[in-house]
Structure 1
Amino acid sequence: MNYENILVTLEDSIAHIRLNRPAKRNAVNNGLLEDLEACFDSLGADATVVVISGEGAHFSAGLDLSEHQIRSPFEVLQHSQWWHRVFQKIQFGGRPVVSALHGAVVGGGLELATSTHVRVADKTTFYQLPEGQRGIFVGGGASVRVSKIIGPDRMTEMMLTGRRYNAEDGYRLGLSHYLVEEGKALDEALLLARQIATNAPLSNWASITAVANIGDMSMANGLYTESLAAAIAQSSDEANRRMQEFLNRKKG
């Protein structure tokens, strides 16, 4: 399928989605959001891991303000929930998603990045939530995803002051899991994606779905859900085969 705002390739079970609005610093407009949703809806079983990167000098500078328009409160609510729906499909779509970050990871771009499971940043990366300076509020999930990573207190400070965190700051705070040299984020992201693709599919699925949901539960419910996820994963034919291979290799 061809898209107007993203480029998609599939190689060795790795789907690579490239945000393709470089002249706009890959700012998220309605068309880009539509393309991301359609792409994740149409990915087949042959795509076991996804990599998201940005064309040009930036991953994503956030909301495309040139499309900003006066909306009624209900229209704003619906638009925000559309962003939520698309990013939920990325986070809970059943496939591990690795993002390669460089340049601006700002506003909605940070909301997109934090919906991915593994984040690799190069040293040009910077993070910002400038909504306060724009007279608006986050609407793509930052108040949940970003605040869970860096804490509500630090996110509040980011929004009030427009503070920019550099790549080293972001790595220290957990906005990225890996920090690599300039221009190397995509290479590292693809390497990690290929490694993740060798995992048992059910283990990958449980890592994506169970951990995030357990984090929202009480301790008792979380521990019970963990036991259920373990029971499903560890009793599978794939788990038994891999365990036998591991044990036989140790004996050898």
Structure 2
Amino acid sequence: MDKVYEHIEVTIDGQLGFITLNRPQVLNALNRQMVSEILFAMECFERDEHIRVIILSGKGRAFAAGADIAEMANDHAVDFEIRNQFKDWDRLAMIKKPIIAAVHGFVLGGGFELALCCDLLLAAEDTEFGFPEVNLGVMPGAGGTQRLTKLVGKTKAMEWLLTGERFSAQDAYQFEIVNRLVEQEVLMEETIKLAKQMAEKAPLAVRLIKESVLKAIDSPINEGMHFERKNFYLLFASEDQKEGMKAFQEKRKPNFKGK
């Protein structure tokens, strides 16, 4: 991964790939180049067989306080259509490896949409969430209305989206947007601990579990069950399945290779 990044920092530690939003002077507001860099880094991690879990976080006082308004203030509808504004966001949703977001400070607008693209969220206790787009005469366009509604239901999503009100990390936890609340000082420590726990599991099983859960969100139960069953069968063609069950019988720790 030799690419030079302008708006993010990318590091690797063992089986974990780290992406840190790095525009702290504007509270990590997302511009198009930044989203492109995030996607590029994630797809590099996706291809790297040594990386098993991706961790996304933000530098400074916020995870991300929204989209870069200055960049889009003078755009027109046709500009967005020709540019295919959200194509990179669509590709983010296709990442197969688990993504954990460690969020703090402000998680607003496009920053909230980015967090909702991740599979698990750990939040500092003082984090504030929200979709303020309605205050600017616009609306979320990178999945905010869809992913939030699927998580919390129509009633609460409608309230938050139509008022643009911010809500607390405690509310986000109550409505199951966030997996865990932790103190700011140990946010990354707890995120890394969770990521390492997941990285020890069989990579193919993790991949197909993620795929199956995402299928469940949009599918009738019978279709989802059929999809799950095919993935279950598929794992019995893997070396990891043989290793995992052999290790269980031999009462030792398995050595998973993602094959």
Alignment TM-score, normalising by the size of structure 1: 0.92
Distance in 1 of aligned mates of 2:41 and 2:251: 40
Report the AA paired with residue 38 of structure 1: F
Does the residue aligned with 1:50 lie in a helix, a strand or coil?
Answer: strand
2:257 alignment counterpart: none
CA offset digits 1:38-95 (Å, max 9, x no partner): 212333222221100000010000111121233332333456x543x33343343121
1:184 alignment counterpart: 186
Match of 2:147 among 139, 142, 145: 145
Q: Which runs of 5+ in 1 are unaligned?
A: none
Distance in 1 of aligned mates of 2:227 and 2:80: 35
2:104 alignment counterpart: 102
2:255 alignment counterpart: none
**Per-residue deviation at 1:99?**
0.6
**Per-residue deviation at 1:154?**
1.3
> Do residues 51 (structure 1) and 55 (structure 2) align?
yes
CA offset digits 1:178-234 (Å, max 9, x no partner): 100122221111111111111101111112212112321122211111110111124
**Per-residue deviation at 1:161?**
1.3
Match of 1:116 among 109, 115, 118: 118
Match of 2:26 among 20, 24, 28: 24
2:251 alignment counterpart: 249
Distance in 1 of aligned mates of 2:90 and 2:198: 20
Distance in 1 of aligned mates of 2:42 and 2:174: 30
1:36 alignment counterpart: 38
Report the AA paired with residue 231 of structure 1: Y
Q: 1:88 to 1:68 in 2, by over 3 A?
A: closer
Does the residue aligned with 1:215 lie in a helix, a strand or coil?
Answer: helix
Q: Is the CA contact 2:28–2:63 (under 8 Å) kept in the aligned structure 1?
A: yes
Distance in 1 of aligned mates of 2:198 and 2:156: 31
2:71 alignment counterpart: 67
Distance in 1 of aligned mates of 2:237 and 2:44: 30
Distance in 2 of aligned mates of 1:82 and 1:239: 41
Distance in 1 of aligned mates of 2:212 and 2:240: 19
Report the AA paired with residue 23 of structure 1: Q
Paired positions, count: 248
Distance in 1 of aligned mates of 2:54 and 2:131: 25
Does the residue aligned with 1:100 lie in a helix, a strand or coil?
Answer: strand
Distance in 1 of aligned mates of 2:56 and 2:185: 15
**Per-residue deviation at 1:249?**
1.8
Distance in 1 of aligned mates of 2:82 and 2:16: 32
Q: Which segment drifts farther, 226-235 or 127-136?
A: 226-235
Report the AA paired with residue 224 of structure 2: G
Alignment TM-score, normalising by the size of structure 2: 0.90
Distance in 2 of aligned mates of 1:134 and 1:233: 48
Q: 1:237 to 1:41 in 2, by over 3 A?
A: closer
2:224 alignment counterpart: 222
Report the AA paired with residue 105 of structure 2: G
Report the AA paired with residue 63 of structure 1: A
Distance in 2 of aligned mates of 1:215 and 1:170: 19
Does the residue aligned with 1:18 lie in a helix, a strand or coil?
Answer: strand
